[in-house]
């Protein structure tokens, strides 16, 4: 799977996870309808399924995915929560992306 497709899949996966957690938060913290738990459950099921679409070892995928998740969460902070990230937020995201690249592009032992 080429790098751009993998990154796009990570972004969609992160959005599914964030939505699946954000909807219950709205119910618990903001008094929104408990009916939000249904699309939340569907979103989390989608998240789990999306993780299975990667062709390499699950642990490596989860580790690299974490970097993308952090970046998407910071964009969510800006767009949905209307909170401006700090410079240290952006530095942290860059460090996470660097770690993701090292994990995904690193050498693999021969089988």
In a domain, 42, yes or no: yes
DSSP 84: P
pLDDT at 28 over 70: yes
In a domain, 82, yes or no: yes
Q: Domain containing 25: what range?
A: 3-105
Q: For the whole prediction, is pTM greater than 0.85?
A: no
In a domain, 110, yes or no: no
Residue 27: the pLDDT is: 97
Q: How many CA atoms lie within 13 A of 42 on its CB side?
A: 5
Q: How many domains does the chain have?
A: 1
In a domain, 41, yes or no: yes
Confidence tier at 66 by pLDDT (50, 70, 90): confident
In a domain, 111, yes or no: no
pLDDT in tens, 76-102: 999 999 999 999 999 999 999 898 888
Higher pLDDT, 77 or 56: 77
pLDDT at 57 over 70: no
């Amino acid at each position: 799977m080429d790098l751009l497709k993998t990154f796009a899949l990570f972004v969609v996966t992160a959005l599914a996870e964030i939505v699946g957690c954000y909807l219950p938060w709205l119910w618990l913290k903001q008094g929104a309808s408990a009916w939000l738990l249904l699309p939340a459950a569907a979103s989390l099921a989608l998240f789990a399924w999306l993780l299975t679409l990667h062709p390499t070892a699950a642990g490596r995928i989860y580790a690299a995915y974490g970097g993308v998740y952090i970046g998407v969460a910071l964009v969510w902070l800006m767009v949905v929560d209307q909170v401006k990230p700090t410079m240290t937020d952006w530095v942290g995201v860059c460090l996470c992306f660097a770690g993701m690249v090292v994990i995904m592009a690193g050498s693999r032992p021969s089988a």
